[in-house]
Amino acid sequence: MSYPGGGESRDNAYGTTPLVTGDAVVLELRPAGFATRAAAIAIDFLVQVIALIALGLVVSWIAFSVDPAATAAISLATTILIIVGYPTAFESISRGRSLGKMALGLRVVGTDGSPERFRQALARALSGFVELWMTFGVIALVTSMLNRDGRRVGDFVAGTMVVEERTGKRRDTVIPMPPHLAAWAAGTELSRLSPETANSARQYVLRYSELAEHTRHEMGIQLADAVAAQVSPPPPPGTTPPFFLAAVLAERRRRSLEAMGQGPQGAQDPQGYQSQGHYSQGQPQQSFPSQGQNPQHRW
């Protein structure tokens, strides 16, 4: 595939690349409020207390027929399983949500925006045993109030933060189709494009005018590589990342509307793209490097 300015593609142009950088994550992640987090913790705490009470009744019932040492071992093991295993299992399986977080629309993510991993969930749960259970939440309370993102000790240990999934205002702006890529987009194969990759591309396009120039460049290349690996055929030679991503997203939305039996809707102008000249036949108003400016990046 050719990149703007001509030339052959990089050997690793379509390899695995990080989809989200710190610059982009800050724009989209909204840290959960202290009250909301406290309510979610209270729900989880209540669930665990109920489970511990039920456990105590079961242990009391079997204590008559089991050796006292075995009873104590069973009680300790199951208590640890509830206090540590419950949040670890739920947050790992649901990718960052416990029952309390599900109820209040919260999710745990990495500080780079990545989904929470098992080791991170385990680190948060182990820290929670100390800062939530052993100190009755005092450590977590103080830490969360002092940190602007509301992170507790477990978040710092695991490299995570709790963010809101439900927000009052959502970006429903329609991304318009770049006119000179409409014919190409109509014949593309988009079935392999994952929702996660499409969402990252959408945030980049919508935030394009708000990003710093170096972020536009680096992130545009990363996202364009990731999307190009999941669609075919490649875009026409000379296509720049924002045009390429916008065309893919616009065509994806058009096909979704058709599948639902809805006709095409008039495209709104996101972030002033058309008014700023971003959808002219040439380069965007703030264009990417042309040939010779940066030989390492050929988009």
The pLDDT-based confidence of 212 (bands split at 50, 70, 90) is confident
Q: For residue 48, what pLDDT is reported?
A: 93
pLDDT of 265 > 60? The answer is no
The pLDDT-based confidence of 261 (bands split at 50, 70, 90) is low
pLDDT of 1 > 90? The answer is no
pLDDT of 266 > 90? The answer is no
Q: Apex CA 50: angle with CA 49 and CA 56, to 5°? A: 85
pLDDT of 245 > 90? The answer is yes
The pLDDT-based confidence of 147 (bands split at 50, 70, 90) is confident
Q: Apex CA 130: angle with CA 127 and CA 136, to 5°? A: 125
HSE value, Cβ hemisphere, 13 Å, CA-based, for 54: 7
Decide which of 38 and 149 is more confident.
38
pLDDT > 90: percent of the chain: 35
Q: For residue 270, what pLDDT is reported?
A: 39
CB 4 within 8 A of CB 299: yes
Contacts (Cβ under 8 Å, ≥6 apart) of 167: 30
Distance between CA 265 and CA 242 in Å, rounded?
22
- The verdict on whether omega for the bond into residue 289 sits within 30 degrees of 0, i.e. cis, is no
Position 250, amino acid = A
pLDDT per position as a tens digit, 177-211: 999 999 999 999 999 998 888 888 988 898 888 88
Q: For residue 298, what pLDDT is reported?
A: 40
Terminal C-alpha separation, the chain: 10
Overall average pLDDT of the 55-74 stretch: 79
Overall average pLDDT of the 31-51 stretch: 90
The pLDDT-based confidence of 122 (bands split at 50, 70, 90) is very high
Lowest-pLDDT range, 43-47, 143-147, 188-192? Answer: 143-147
In whole numbers, what is the pLDDT of the chain averaged over residues? 76
Decide which of 233 and 278 is more confident.
233
Overall average pLDDT of the 135-144 stretch: 88
Decide which of 106 and 283 is more confident.
106
Q: Phi and psi dihedrals of 107, rounded to 5?
A: -150, 145
pLDDT of 98 > 70? The answer is yes
Overall average pLDDT of the 265-277 stretch: 40
pTM for the complete prediction?
A: 0.50
